[in-house]
Amino acid sequence: METFDCIIVGTGPAGMGAAFSLIERHPESRILMLDKTPYSTGGMRNDCKMNFTFPIGFPLEYWDEDVADAYLDEVMKFLRPDILPKSNIETYQARATRLGCSLLEIRQTHLGTDGGLALIKDLQERLRQAGVVLALGETMTDIDNRAKTITTDKRILGYRSLLVAPGRQGFHFLQEVMQKLDVPYVDNIVDVGIRLETRIEHYPIVKDYYDPKFYFKEKVRTFCTNSGNAHVVREKYATARGDIWYSVNGHAFAADEKRNNGLVNFALLKTVRLTEPLASGQEFAEHLGMIAALMGGGRPLMQRVGDFRLGRRSKEATFNGDLYDFRPSLQGASPSDISLAMPSKILRYIWSAMKNLDTIVPGILHPSTIMYYPEIKLYANKPQYRDEHFQVAEGVFFAGDGAGTSRGITGAWASGIRASRGMEEYI
Ligand SMILES: Cc1cc2nc3c(=O)[nH]c(=O)nc-3n(C[C@H](O)[C@H](O)[C@H](O)COP(=O)(O)OP(=O)(O)OC[C@H]3O[C@@H](n4cnc5c(N)ncnc54)[C@H](O)[C@@H]3O)c2cc1C
């Protein structure tokens, strides 16, 4: 059996942050990275828009500004981002403030899905050259922390310290690991919302600020704005019983005038915190996803704002009319009535946020704007951590979106570095 000083499960940004930090500070150590996909660097394959200002991407239960800033400095030094310029921010901020909303000014960069792929190739090559062993296409299936071994679909491996960073889609897997290690956890928070798609002229702020971060009342916020060559996509999820449902998401390719489709998409998300009697946010989200799948014939739903305002469902015809003048970038969605599928309280807050947004940046309520549902973020596993380095059991650490320590690429990278500082104790 081969034994490593550190094994890192997941080559997403959380795993990358840990690997680069460990190999830089301990070049002699033996480090193995595993990923179940044959390519991967996890979520950096999608859009690769990176935010470098607290609190974007940093769950407040684990981070304060000073700690996050210290790790963000390290992330910036490593990734050396070209921060995108912004303009007219004060005008939008003044309009938002008048309505009791806010617009956060943050440092961000955008590589695009294609730019992200080039970065991933470079990062993996640098790790290999530094001596890190990458085992792609290999899945961790089990753990025995007394014997300090993990089982994969190919072999048994020994570790001195282990980082498990499987991302949002590893949510169920992380819960299995926690049960095995007797780590108490709750998952009572979830983000539920819609994704809007419209013409850039109906949301022109994106020419001034690539991914504007608006905060509205009742914990509704804009999230993950994409424009230029921008597309809405669907992500497949399976419940523990194996039922399939879809969440929507969005991404864009790098700026290229020739391939620009003239569209913008972004999410409006409402954070839902479930309290007594404590329910699982994951199960709540799955039920919502299943209702949408039921109504959409197995697909996510879409509705034009024009139909929504009139209280009518959208139909195929709604996507061909003269007023409804652009084709949805996501072809695999069903024209429907999202108010039948979405809890009314969440919908009410989101609609209120849309009206506020239309006052701050007039245009978003154009009848042709498409509302896609559901967009759900399942990153709310909250394990009981033993220390500030996200250690859950002797020598075992978690990091990244699936473990609730981050909500985006830079936060995940920072949480990987933070976990690695605890792993160093075991080298
Ligand atoms: C369409 C889309 C667009 C996005 N756009 C952005 C954006 O522009 N900006 C931003 O900041 N964030 C964006 N995100 C979110 C971002 O991708 C995540 O916040 C980030 O990738 C989380 O990093 P992570 O390392 O925790 O997990 P991930 O990046 O998900 O990586 C986890 C890795 O673990 C591997 N894995 C899982 N289970 C196992 C196992 N049992 N054994 C071995 N390997 C395993 C997976 O294959 C995966 O490669 C986007 C997400 C999506 C889906």
In the chain, where the domains are located = 2-84+110-186+381-426, 189-377
Q: CA-CA distance, 156 to 1, in Å (whole number)? A: 6
Residue of the CA atom closest to atom 2 of ligand 1: 46
Instruction: Please state the φ and ψ torsions of residue 416, each to the nearest 5 degrees.
Output: -65, -40
Architecture of the domain defined by 2-84+110-186+381-426 = 3-Layer(bba) Sandwich (3.50)
Residues with CB under 6 A from ligand 1: 9-15, 34-37, 40, 42-43, 46-50, 139-140, 165-168, 170, 173, 224, 233, 235, 249, 251, 400-402, 408-409, 412
User: Residue length, the chain?
Assistant: 427
Q: What is the model's pLDDT at position 33?
A: 97
Q: What is the model's pLDDT at position 241?
A: 86
Residue of the CA atom closest to atom 41 of ligand 1: 140
Write down the pTM of the prediction.
0.87
Q: What is the model's pLDDT at position 39?
A: 75
Top mutation candidate among 33, 47, 174, 379 for ligand 1, by most atoms within 8 Å of CB: 47
State how far Cα 180 lies from the chain centre: 26
Q: From the first residue on, what is the mean pLDDT of each consecutive set of 10 residues in the chain (427 residues)?
A: 97 96 97 90 77 94 96 93 92 97 93 83 93 96 98 98 93 91 89 97 96 94 94 90 94 79 96 84 92 97 97 91 85 96 97 98 96 86 93 97 92 98 96
Torsion of CA 290, 329, 206, 212, to 10 degrees: 10
Name the residue type at position 91: T
State how far Cα 236 lies from the chain centre: 14
The encoded tokens of residue 262 equal: 């003239």
Residue of the CA atom closest to atom 49 of ligand 1: 42
Q: What is the model's pLDDT at position 379?
A: 60
3-class DSSP state of 181: helix
Residue of the CA atom closest to atom 33 of ligand 1: 10
Task: Give residue 167 CA to ligand 1 midpoint distance, Å.
Answer: 5
The encoded tokens of residue 314 equal: 């959208």
